Each structure stands twice: as structure tokens, then as C-alpha cells.
Structure 1
Amino acid sequence: MFLTEQCLALTTPAIIASVASLQCLEYRIVGICYWLLCTPFGCTVRTSPKVRHFIPELVVSSYSNTGSNPWGEMSALSVPTPLSQGGGNLITPSSQRDNLPRFKNVDGIGHPGGAALTALAQSFGFGYACPSGAVPLAPYYLSTLDPLAWRHAIPESVYPQALTPGMREIGSQAFGNMWGSVYPRQGFLVQPDDFKAAAVMAQRASDFITRVGQPHVYLPLQPMPAPGYWPPQPVMENNINNHRWQLLTPMVQSTCAIFPSATLQSAEGAYAWSLWRPYRCCQRMGQTFLFSIDFDGGQ
């Protein structure tokens, strides 16, 4: 699907409303948790269902013009700086091949819809919902504050993942739908399709945001496990069980997918997605977590 949409300003209420997607939520009971409950009268073992569902953790905006995050209320966070001023695409057509180097700024900000998602889960009778590991509205990544890595690919341009064809690619060359490589995780990509370029940048940013110790200026989003609480693994491209994307602009969609996906062009070169990731948890039914059983093998 190749459509063009005029980009409307993305607002916080619209982002919160977008969590009402049962397809993105994908709530399931996947096991049983066992707890030890002790009182002055003795101890007993109690159980609670182990649930698994996706949570929208981040709003990832990918846009051409520096300072023009399509999420209106958050655009002031990423104004141009002395080292991050220019933006837009470096269009250098060639008669021999498509040669369209595109640049995108990327912001990754904590999703504001966590409370709405919990209410959604409870209103549909699902009962218990896992808490998100992300802080709402927290700026986990602003590419304007990361010019060395995002604009100059230092040091990732010399990483093996960036120099070896076929490593860490979004899509598949064998199936003819390869959009670009994850490395180097920077803001430039030779890609004639603007939506695909923006999506690759969003994937690149989510890759290091969900990992610790990466050579970028960012706040890691890697929630710690706890008794009865299993947060997601870092984002890995091409794996719909690991993460999924919900398009927010140029059009709010009610479904989630991974890249490659259907494309929807923005006249302004500005895009935003919700990043959903899977959590597993169970309601605490005692002082001590004993163990859990997974019906699906933990997959």
C-alpha cells in the first residue's frame, strides 16, 4: 500500500486514545504463578494467573526537519542545537541508480497511555495488567543531543555489523523487502522511499534505547525483572513476538506490525509510532514468589 497523507499535528490525547487496540494488546493467560502466603496461623501456597500482553512503552518520532517533532507538545524538547541544526533530505539523483540519502531526526519519549491501557485491560474483563517499565513523557532519546553518533556515525560506522553485508537487516534481501540495515545506528540512509527510511531510523533508535552501554547519549529503557514480573528483552528486528509498531502519524492506525509493513507517505516527511513490547506478570498473592509454570514454554 503506497498512500500519501497530509501530516496532522499529533497530540497527547490522540496518543493516549490510540492504546485502545486489542490487536496490539494481545492479552493472554500464559501460565500459573505460585506464592507462599504466611500468617500467624501458618503458611499456605496460593496461585495466580500468569498473563502476557504488550505495552506501548515509547512514542518514537522520525522526522526530517530538526525541531519539528510531529508530537506537538514534545517538539520543544528537540530544538536545534549548535551541533544539530540542519535537517531534511540530501537529494542527489543519479541517472544510474536511485541515490536518495535521507536524514531523519529521531526522538524516543515515554508513552503517556499506560494508565489508559490498564483501564482498557480491566474494562474488557482481563483483570490484572502488567505495569510498564517506561516512565510516561520521559525523554529516553533526543537525536539533537547525540550529534556525534547520530549525524556522524562515530564510532558505529566501523563496527562489524555496519561493514558486513547481510547482518542486522530490516526485512530480507532474499524476499526482496529489505528496507535497510540497523547498523550503523545513525540518521542517514540511502533509501528512495521516505516512509521506509523513517521506519529504519525508528528501528535503529529503539535498538539502542532498549539496551544498556551503547555509544549514544540516551536513557536506557531496560526494566529489571522482579518476583512475578518479567519485562521484555531488547528490541530485535523482524521478530513480531519481541516488539511491534503502531503508526501514529501521518495517520493513527488501530493495528500493530513489524517492519517491513505497508507504507504511508507523509507530505512533511514526519512520522511517529508507538513501540509496543511484551510483558509477563502475575498478581502477588503472598509474601514469597515460589515459581511459575508457562503453558507456552515462555515464548
Structure 2
Amino acid sequence: MPHSPSKASRFIAVVTAMGLPISAPALNSAIITTSSLSPDCLAYRIVGVCYWLYCTSFGCKVRTSPKVRHYVPDAVVSSYSNTGDNPWSEVRSMSPTNATARSGGDGSAGISHENDLAKFRNADVIGHPGGAVFSQFVGQSGFACPGAGQILIPYFLSTLDSIAWRNNIPELVFPEALTPGMREIGSRAQSNLWGALYPRGGFLHGVDDYKSAAVVVQRAGDIVTRRGQIHVYQPLLANGRDGYWPAGPLKESDPSTGKWQELTPTVSKRCAVFPNNLPHTQSPRGDYAWALWRPYSCCKRKGQIFLGSTDFAGAHQ
């Protein structure tokens, strides 16, 4: 017998549909799944045409199918101060404290004259639980492209990446970490600098806890969307094939590579990149989470041989 949605799930669905951010006292899979029903984050578009060669015993002909592009919530990326205390309750047991990752918390009390003190944040990247609910949602718009994320699969757990995440080895001496203005989220010139992407570890400086958490999830997202990084992780990447163009590396402040949907301390129906001017709330527990949405393009197979595709002018802008 199918289960009816809980009152909490129905409430979140209604408020999310209204476009209002809501407080999320306890983040769980039901809340995350419901939050994926966001037309703003999905951004479904027909961007071109695919061509297929279809052959039978009577001959061959060229068939076409629409090429679509939309975003998929690949993962939930959490940033939290207390080690072992992921705000997503069902996956908390995936990242407990261990011999090399015990302590957590900030060296700063969030006071302006203490902005030279270091904050430390853990980060986890875990496959989004939306699954069938999201697929059904996309199906209302048309053909759906699969994402790279697998439900509840851990792609990065900072407690298992202690050498790199807690000691910044070896990224502390990378050019990106030593060169001001290189790989930064925002810019000093525009007075919206949230932080530096490198070194991609858990320590950073800043009094705004929300922005610090955002920088850390961007770092974790940057790691898992690339291959061959000097971290303990598994890539969150899919392989391209005929009629399927998966998302590539995440790039800060570039929505064409991915965007973020806040899940806690508030649930938002909107997606954006960092930095942004969306309202944000400081978490009293120092824990935050965002869904990482990434763009995929695909078309339905209409023949045995893929002949190529044509994109409409300006379709990917």
C-alpha cells in the first residue's frame, strides 16, 4: 500500500511552490526530495535537434529528436562545524569522528575584530535522494536526462580526507592558493568577495558564517567534479555517449557549470551561484547544506546510429 505524504512534506511542498524560503529545523531526505520540485532550478529548455539514422530491411532514413537541456540535483553538499554532526540526519553516520578527524568548530566567535581567526568546517558530498520523485517531475516537461549522482552514495567525506582537508597538504603551495585574485568566489573590486577557493580544505577566515560555509561547499563541489585530484573522494561525473552530454567541472560563479539550492537553515526553491544577493540566515548550530544542480543535455534515441546534433542560436546562454 503506498504511503501518503506526511503533513510536513505537504507543508513544505505548498510553501516551496509559493516561492518562499522556509525554516528547516531538521534536514531529512523527505525535505530534500520535496525541495527538488523546483522549476527555477530545473530550467528545462529545448536547445537543439539530434539526428539519427534509422534502418530497417526496407532501407534507411534520418529521424530527428529534440535536444533538451536541464539541471539535475546531483548531490547534497553539507558544511558544518562540529565533526560528526552533518545536518542531514539520515547520513550523519557516514562521517563520524575518527582518529585523524575528531575536533571541529571555529577559532572565531563571529566578532568583527576577530576576523583574522580561523574557522574550520567539515564537508560532505552525498548523492541526492530525489530519485524517482524528481524524474517524475521532469517527465512533466518532456524527456529527462540522467545525472551523475547516485542516491545516498558518498562522493566526499572530509573526515576521510584528513591530510588534505585539515592540513592543506599539498594545496597550500599551489599557485591558486598563493596568487591573490586567482580562483576566488567574488572579487575585492566588486566588494563581494566571499573567500578563496584554494587551498581546498576546511580552514578559512571570515566572520560571516553563512558565506564561510558557502565557500567550503564550493571547494568540495570543485573537488568531486574533477578527476585526479589529490584528495580522498570519488568523482561525481558521468561519461558522455551518443545523444548525451553530461555536466563537466564545476566553476565558481558560473551557472553554466552548476548552481546551488539552499536546504538548511532555510529551504529555498531558487538556485543561484556564489556570491549572490539572496537573503540568507545564519545557522545557530553552524551547519548548512545546499543541493548541487548541474546541467545535462540529451535527446531520445530515434535510430541505430547517431549522426550529430544542431544547437539553436543562443540556446545555451
TM-score tier after normalising by the smaller chain length: over 0.9
For residues 148-182 of structure 1, what are the alpha-carbon distances to aligned partners after superposition, in whole Å with 9 as ceiling and x for unaligned?
00000000000000000000000111110101011
Equivalence for 1:74: 91
In structure 2, runs of 5+ residues without a counterpart are 1-21
Q: Structure 2 matches for 1:58-73, cutoff 5 A?
A: 58-73=75-90
Unaligned stretches of 5+ in structure 1? none
The 4+ residue runs of structure 1 with deviation greater than 4 A are: 92-97
Residue 294 of structure 1 corresponds to 311
User: Does residue 208 of structure 2 align to residue 179 of structure 1?
Assistant: no
- The more displaced of 251-260 and 6-15 is 6-15
Q: Which moved more, 1:45-54 or 1:114-123?
A: 114-123
Alignment of 1:231-250 (within 5 A): 231-250=246-265
Look up the match of 2:9: none
Could you tell me which of 102, 114, 117 is aligned with 2:131? 114
Alignment of 1:271-282 (within 5 A): 271-282=288-299
Q: Does 1:190 align with 2:205?
A: yes
Cα offset, 1:92, TM superposition: 7.1
Taking the aligned partners of 1:58 and 1:107, their CA distance within structure 2 comes to 10
8 Å Cα contact 1:29/1:49 also seen in 2 = yes
SS in 1 for 2:119: strand
Counterpart-to-counterpart distance in 2, 1:175 and 1:118: 39
User: Equivalences for 1:39-58 in 2 at 5 Å?
Assistant: 39-58=56-75
Amino acid at match of 1:268: R
Which deviations, in whole Å up to 9, do the C-alpha atoms of 1:68-90 show, x marking residues without a partner?
00000000000001000001111
Q: CA deviation at 1:95?
A: 8.6
Distance 1:18 1:246 in 2: 9
Counterpart residue number, 2:243: 228
Q: CA RMSD in A?
A: 1.6
Q: Specify the code of the residue in structure 1 equivalent to 2:35.
A: S
Aligned equivalents of 1:96, 1:13: Cα separation in 2:
40
Identify the residue that residue 174 of structure 2 maps to in structure 1. 159
Alignment partners' CA distance in 1, 2:109 and 2:85:
23
SS of corresponding position for 1:265? coil
SS at match of 2:282: strand
- Residue 284 of structure 1 pairs with residue 301 of structure 2: yes
The answer to whether the Cα contact below 8 Å between 1:156 and 1:162 also exists between their aligned partners in 2 is yes
CA contact (8 A) 1:225 1:231 kept: yes
Alpha-carbon distance between aligned partners in 1 of 2:77 and 2:50, rounded to the nearest angstrom: 34
User: Which one of the candidate residues 9, 27, 30 is aligned to 2:44?
Assistant: 27
TM-score by length of 1: 0.94
| Aligned residues of 2:108 and 2:114 also touching (Cα < 8 A) | no
User: Between the two proteins, what is the percent identity of the paired residues?
Assistant: 54
TM-score (norm 2): 0.89
Distance across 1 between alignment mates of 2:210 and 2:112: 23
Preserved contact between residue 110 and residue 209 of structure 2 (Cα < 8 Å): no
How big is the shift at 1:133? 1.5
Asked whether the equivalents of residues 114 and 207 of structure 2 are also in contact (C-alpha less than 8 Å), the reply is no
**Number of the residue aligned with 2:6:** none
Mapped partners of 2:195, 2:67: distance in 1: 37
In structure 2, what is the Cα distance between the partners aligned to 1:184 and 1:93?
22
Amino acid at match of 1:121: V
Quick one: which of 221, 227, 230 aligns to 1:215?
230
Deviations 1:109-151 (A, max 9, x none): 011113222211223xx21010112111100000000000000
When the two structures are aligned, how many residues end up with a matched partner? 293
Separation in structure 2 between the aligned mates of residue 87 and residue 293 of structure 1, nearest angstrom: 51
Q: Name 2:269's counterpart in structure 1.
A: 254
Deviation for aligned residue 1:64: 0.3
Greater Cα offset, 41-50 or 90-99:
90-99
